[in-house]
Amino acid sequence: MADILAPPAAERSHDRRVSLGVAALVLATVALAHLAPGGHPAPAVGPDRDPGCREWTDSCVVCVRGTEGANCSLPGIACVRGPQRCIRR
């Protein structure tokens, strides 16, 4: 009865080769992903560098672009800065 359940030696050898091939393919894919350089996001242009933005804030300081550069307010005591955003163009 044990002979009926056991696959022939040639079939076991084929299964072993397929399993090793799949494992090698998975390892090669993981190694390639690890070694490949990652993409770098483009640097975001902040409102302070955008000439079209006339007024911007970070929820603490409000800056206005004047003829001689940026004029900014002073932050308050309980200020929690956020991301800079343009509030007037």
* Per-residue pLDDT reduced to its tens digit, 18-37: 888 888 888 888 888 888 88
Q: What is the pTM of this model?
A: 0.48
Q: Report the alpha-carbon distance of residue 13 to residue 7 in Å, rounded.
A: 10
| Torsion, Cα of 14, 20, 22, 28 (10° steps) | -150
Do residues 52 and 45 touch, judged by C-beta distance below 8 A? Answer: no
What are the structure tokens assigned to 2, written together? 């044990």
Looking at residue 19, what is its pLDDT? 87
* Per-residue pLDDT reduced to its tens digit, 27-73: 888 888 888 887 777 666 677 788 889 999 999 999 999 888 889 99
